[in-house]
Amino acid sequence: MKVIRCINNNVAVCLDSSGKELVAFGKGIGFRKPPYEVPLGKLERTYYGVDSIYLSMINDIPKKILDISDETIDYARVVLDCELSSNIIFTLADHLNFCIERYRKHMNFTLPIVRDIEQLFEKEVSVGQFALKLIRERMNVFLPREEAAYVALHLINYEEKQKNTEPAEDAVIENVTGIIEKEYGIDISRDDFNYSRFVSHMNYLFKRGKHQELMKTDNGRIYQDLVRDYPKTHEVSVRVSEYLEQVMNISLTDEEKLYLMLHINRLCTREDCYR
């Protein structure tokens, strides 16, 4: 196996004997300067077909969560009896990492349609319950029941995204990105993983808005704290909210604005908006 790019000391982009590119995990395989050959015995696991946009987030997610996501998707492939690309392992790991961050900050989001999801998508919810079980056992983190439904939605939306995309919604996301860029005077890279996170959030937001199922939470104090600490981010979120109400008839709750502000902050941390 030939290493052609190192992500960190334990993760590298490689070429197999057929010249196909893959992402490999293994202790110390990314320590040397590429290119070089690495013995197959040193590889713990490999992933083909990983979009380059997901490589930048590997260093942001603990290995333990990546392992949990990997096992969860293996379980999902059996339970759902379907093909799931390697990319969802990384997007799910990012989702689970964010769930745990929210849990530790006591930010609890209520999903109004939890019972509906549990009844309509039993298999997907069982995958979410499997993920929560691994997190409890290995990290001693007891995520609430709703998070299993969020994992189920992640799987459902991923499957739908593979089938089709809606050009009109893509245009709205691009316009929202333009609003953020204009307000901060920055250029946001469409190839960055934080932007991919943002796009996924917007797609989920559109689905919730269409079905009048916007998030409700008990995080009023946290929202007010964010408004106080990040007045510019709040101002931008209000402008985005006004735009979405005009073009999609979606009126964001304070809870949705809170989530939107978190994603805008992620984009701005990457682009150094607060320098």
What pLDDT score does 133 carry?
Answer: 97
Tell the residue number behind the tokens 């943002």, with chain if given: 198
Strands 216-217 and 36-37, how do they pair? unpaired
Which residues, other chains included, contact 247 with Cβ-Cβ below 8 Å and sequence gap of 6+? 172, 175
Residue predicted with more confidence, 83 or 166: 83
Of residues 32 and 222, the one with the higher pLDDT is 32
pLDDT for the residue numbered 200: 80
CA 57-158-135 angle, 5° bins: 60
Does residue 66 carry a pLDDT above 90?
yes
- Of 61-70, 87-96, 132-141, 249-258, the one with minimum mean pLDDT is 249-258
pLDDT the model gives residue 199: 86
Predicted pLDDT at 79: 93
pLDDT score recorded for residue 205: 84
Residues of each domain in the chain carrying CATH 1.10.1790.10: 63-163, 167-271
* Residue 210 clears pLDDT 90, i.e. is over it: no
- Residue 162 confidence (pLDDT) above 70: no
Q: Which fold has domain 63-163?
A: PTS-regulatory domain, PRD (1.10.1790)
Stated pTM of the model: 0.64
Q: Kindly report, residue by residue over 83-106, the tens digit of the pLDDT.
A: 888 889 998 999 999 889 888 888
Which CATH superfamily hosts domain 2-48? CAT RNA-binding domain (2.30.24.10)
pLDDT score of 239: 93
| pLDDT in the model for residue 60 | 85
Q: How far apart, in whole angstroms, are the C-alpha atoms of residue 225 and residue 107?
A: 12
Residue 109 pLDDT more than 80? no
Averaged pLDDT, 148-162: 77
Residue 37 predicted with pLDDT over 60: yes
Q: CA 143 to CA 145: how far, in whole Å?
A: 7
Q: Averaged over 210-234, what is the pLDDT? A: 79
Interval 124-140: pLDDT, tens: 999 999 999 999 999 99
SS3 61: coil
Looking at residue 167, what is its pLDDT?
A: 57
Structure tokens at 210: 């269409």
Q: Given this model, what pLDDT does residue 5 score?
A: 93
CATH architecture of 167-271: Orthogonal Bundle (1.10)
Instruction: Cite the residue boundaries of each domain of the chain with CATH code 2.30.24.10.
Output: 2-48
Q: How far apart are CA 6 and CA 200, in angstroms?
A: 27
